[in-house]
Amino acid sequence: MKNRRSDLILALFILGSLIILVLLVTGRSGDSRDWVDVAGGSGERIGLVEISEPIWNSRKWVEDIDRFRRNDQIKGILVRLDSPGGVTGASQELYEALKRARAEKPVVASMGNIATSGAYYAALGADSIVANPSSTTGSIGVIIEFTQFRELMEKIGVQSEVVKSGKFKDSGTPARELTPEERAYFQEYIDDAFDQFVEIVATERKLDEAVVRTLADGRVYTGRQAKENGLVDILGDQYHATQVLAGMAQIDGNPTVVRPPRSRTYEWMDLLLENAADKVFNRLEGRGAFQYRWKPETVR
């Protein structure tokens, strides 16, 4: 038994040492030499930030946008959106990051297959929004969902005891139904978050707020419908969006498109820690979180 334990400790020590060695060897600070060429060209560089998943945590994208904004070698920023949206705060942070960037250099948002709700909110921070004619966008609204297990708990004989500091502290618990007062409380929160969304759309798209409210009933639009309603600027694919940005940045020749620098150490830690946490949250579909997100029943 003693030998087995010693072997296990030795094996764990060797494994840990190898992981540390790999991180030290592959880790780099991430400067302009680490840029990943997406589309080589003869012209100056534009930075590409790809948001291709639900928006639960904006940190890595905001860091990328700010890094491109501060780098004088990057003449413009293209944000590629293929996301159904996500939680309210993270979506707003992306919008603010793009808004900061556009104050210093041109920013274009390019919509892929889907850029709805929080992803559309983020896109509003760009100078111009480009969508494919059949891109799915819109879904301007806010949603929160609660799963309720009260009847199941009663059937299997499970009870929940709660000690709380205030009457709303356990609002949304799956152990019981919402009270009428709690429903009104959550609706008030939803309404305020929705008003913020509508105000940003009206301001950025230069639309009357009353018009925005007629469009903001949660429905989605094709890119072509969105353009007709003033929600996007141009119809085109990512290549077209790149050319639009190059023109705005006054780049001669075909621009060189680069992804953000990413140290390999970051990629390892991101894989082991952040992505794991995001995947768990994603599995739970963000239940109990206020979301700018499109959630079609047909693709669940």
Domain limits of the chain? 30-140+220-299
169 is catalytic: yes
Mean per-residue pLDDT, 198-222? 97
Is the pLDDT at 89 greater than 90? The verdict is yes
The pTM of the full predicted model, rounded to 2 decimals, is 0.78
- Write down the pLDDT at residue 283: 44
Is the pLDDT at 299 greater than 50? The verdict is no
User: How many CA atoms does the CB half-sphere of 229 hold within 13 Å?
Assistant: 20
- Write down the pLDDT at residue 228: 98
Average pLDDT of the chain is: 82
Residue 162 — very low, low, confident or very high, per pLDDT cuts 50/70/90? confident
Residues 258 and 53: their CA atoms lie apart, in Å, by 20
Q: For the segment 254-298, what is each residue's pLDDT rounded down to a tens digit?
A: 899 999 876 544 455 554 555 554 544 444 444 455 565 555 543
Residues 155 and 149: their CA atoms lie apart, in Å, by 10
Give the lowest-confidence range in 18-22, 149-153, 253-257, 261-265: 261-265
Marked catalytic residue, from 83, 110, 117, 128: 117
Marked catalytic residue, from 17, 32, 167, 169: 169
CATH number for 30-140+220-299 (one of 3.90.1150.10, 3.40.50.720, 3.90.226.10, 3.30.565.10): it is 3.90.226.10
Higher pLDDT, 262 or 64: 64
